[in-house]
């Protein structure tokens, strides 16, 4: 069974940092693009970042560019999101998602259960 499990969320002050992790199982991790997305409570979905299977390509939403860094460890089947200079409007449930469409695509097809990040003083 394919699974993704996020961890590392919590409460942080504005300007602070957090690192999210997403441990996966049940699929071929090292050829699969992984995506982070977020959803403010009661609101819609926002794409945040994506990383290719070989880590040779990364992309970011303008809202997080320069503050967030996506990475992966193929030996641990885990993808990370380092979040720095956090702002109140970064508060959201963060999801990781795996591409299942086709080799070379970068879509969020299979989602984890999400982890809450709250940025507040």
Rounded CA gap, 21 and 57, in Å?
A: 19
φ/ψ of residue 30, rounded to 5: -75, -5
What minimum distance in Å lies between the beta carbon of 99 and another protein?
10
One symbol per residue from 3 to 32: x for binding another protein (CB under 8 A), - otherwise; what is it?
Answer: ------------------------------
Q: Which of 12, 50, 79, 117 binds another protein (CB under 8 A)?
A: 50
Provide the minimum distance between the beta carbon of 121 and another protein in the complex, in angstroms, as a whole number: 28
Tokens of 31: 């050829």
> Minimal distance in Å, beta carbon 40 to another protein?
12
- Using CB under 8 A, pick the residue from 27, 111, 116, 118 that binds another protein: 111
Cα 77 to Cα 13, 43, 53, 61, distances in angstroms = 30, 30, 11, 24
Which of 3, 7, 13, 101 contacts another protein by CB under 8 A? Answer: 101
CA distances for 40 relative to 24, 25, 54, 90, angstroms: 24, 27, 30, 8
Binders of another protein in range 58-97 (CB under 8 A): 59-62, 95
Supply the DSSP symbol for 65: T
Contacting residues toward another protein, per CB under 8 A: 35, 44-47, 50, 59-62, 95, 100-101, 105-114
């Amino acid at each position: 069974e394919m699974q993704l499990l996020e961890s590392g969320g919590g409460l942080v002050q504005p300007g602070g940092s957090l690192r999210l992790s997403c441990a996966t199982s049940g699929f071929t991790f090292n050829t699969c693009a992984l995506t982070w997305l977020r959803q403010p409570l009661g609101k819609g979905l926002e794409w945040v970042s994506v990383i290719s299977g070989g880590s040779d390509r990364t992309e970011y939403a303008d809202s997080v560019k320069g503050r967030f860094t996506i990475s992966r460890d193929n030996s641990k089947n885990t993808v990370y999101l380092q979040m720095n200079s956090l702002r109140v409007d970064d508060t959201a449930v963060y999801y990781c998602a795996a591409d299942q469409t086709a080799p070379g695509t970068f879509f969020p097809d299979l989602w984890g259960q999400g982890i809450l990040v709250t940025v507040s003083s």
